[in-house]
Amino acid sequence: MSCDQSYPFPQVFLVDGGGSRQNSDQPPSLVPCWSFPPAQERARSREKSRGFMGVSPSLALVVLLLFLLVFAALGFEAYQIHNMQMELKQMRQVRNHRLVVSGFPEPEVRGQDTDNRPAAHMMGRIERGEFRKTLRWEPRVGRAFVSGGVTYQIEDGGLQVNESGLYHIYSRVELIFRNCSPTSSFIHSVFLRRAKHLSPLTLMEAHRAGFCSKHLENSWTTESYLSAALKLQKYDKVFVNVSHPSLLSHAHYGNFFGLYKV
């Protein structure tokens, strides 16, 4: 390997024992030097060794194998779930076939969504101004609902049944007597109006008295609950009356009224 000759070497002189100097007949020994590749080539070689986006090929291969392993596991789980669904479907078919052959069909489960039985449950309306003895109700508050062949009449507060049959009718009222006395009392009744009858027909009635303490001018809360199974005809309207509607409590769940077909 030759070195760059542009740099001169110092002259070397041989000195004998007498102290005189002589020119050396042999050329001085050359100083070894090494050559390195250019900086650009070294940078390119480093980029090639790193791979794409600075990731080595071995690391990329490991990540790819991990992804393949995950996808294979997911595919196997999906295959197992599909097999379980097919087995469950076959078991249901076999069970239905056995029930039909034995003569005992599988009972039908009726949920709340499919049950369209005539029913209604009304919550008490809080009155601020006019207090009427025939109570009005809230059909869309809390647990209140109307379903089947029952309609709520907003103008008069009645529940109209559109199917004849046996119905369970119930009503509860809660009253607060602020100046309660031993003579305090109230009447709670349930009645209906029928097309062929001009006067209302009383279904249930409660006369409450003697519920206050002997101490005068004390507040007292009392309630009345009526319930019965009665036969109703198509287009009958059922109502609730209270003798002291201004004393009703303002709790929606304290006053309610409803019916359902048995």
- Over the stretch 37-81, which tens digit does the pLDDT of each residue have? 565 555 565 555 555 566 677 888 888 888 898 989 888 888 889
The CATH number fitting domain 119-261, selected from 3.50.50.60, 3.30.360.10, 2.60.120.40, 3.90.550.10: 2.60.120.40
Overall pTM > 0.75: no
How do the domains of the chain map onto residue ranges? Answer: 51-102, 119-261
- Over the stretch 190-243, which tens digit does the pLDDT of each residue have? 999 998 888 999 999 999 988 876 666 677 889 999 999 999 999 999 999 999
The Cβ of residue 240 has, within 10 Å, a number of other Cβ atoms equal to 27
**pLDDT class for 32, splitting at 50, 70, 90?**
low
Torsion of CA 41, 44, 48, 51, to 10 degrees: 160
CA gyration radius for the chain?
50
Residue pointed to by tokens 């119930």:
170
